[in-house]
Amino acid sequence: MSRSVARVARALQDAGLANTISEPGEARTAELAAQACGCELDQIVKSILFAGQSSGALYLFLTAGGNRIDAAKASALAGEALGRANAAQVREVTGFAIGGVAPIGHLTAPKTWADPCLLDFETVFAAAGTPRHVFSIAPRVLISVAKVTVADFTE
């Protein structure tokens, strides 16, 4: 088991949750993940990281697979203009590579918001540390465990 997947498994265990990590196949994109998991596109939790243009801080947005982030809304939530975080920043702060960023188990947890659309489902699937691993979880449990604020930031 990779160190990244092990960190997600430990975060689930520390929260008192079952380890639901699986390797359904290629899950590098939301579309591929939905196919691999046999679920709706919006049941896939995309973890999108942005960097504050003045502070350099990273901000994490968890959005439903079919939704796109509205840059102005996301910047308003962060309180500063945002740009895409680069791969090195993502790896340094979260410990995960782009394509496998989990919403939990970060080296340093960034300020995080969740798309209210995720609450429409009983179960969602999120990256579990690699582009091939996912875990399933009830969205309200994910929001609680990840200490996420639900907010409107999509187009």
The residue with tokens 């895409």 is 84
CATH number attached to the domain at 3-150: 3.90.960.10
Farthest CA pair distance, the chain: 41
The reported pTM is 0.95
The total of other beta-carbon atoms located within 10 Å of residue 18's CB is 10
pLDDT in tens, 85-128: 999 999 999 999 988 999 999 999 999 999 999 999 999 999 99
Average of per-residue pLDDT across 13-18: 96
pLDDT at 26: 86
Q: Would the pLDDT of 1 be above 80?
A: no
Q: How confident is the model at residue 50 (pLDDT cuts 50, 70, 90)?
A: very high
Q: How confident is the model at residue 133 (pLDDT cuts 50, 70, 90)?
A: very high
Going 17 to 23 to 24 to 25, the CA torsion angle's sign is positive
Residues 6+ apart with CB under 8 A from 63: 45, 46, 48, 69, 114, 115, 117, 118, 153, 154
Question: What's the distance, CA 29 to chain centroid?
Answer: 12
Going by C-alpha positions, the residue among 23, 20, 17, 42 that lies closest to residue 31 is: 42
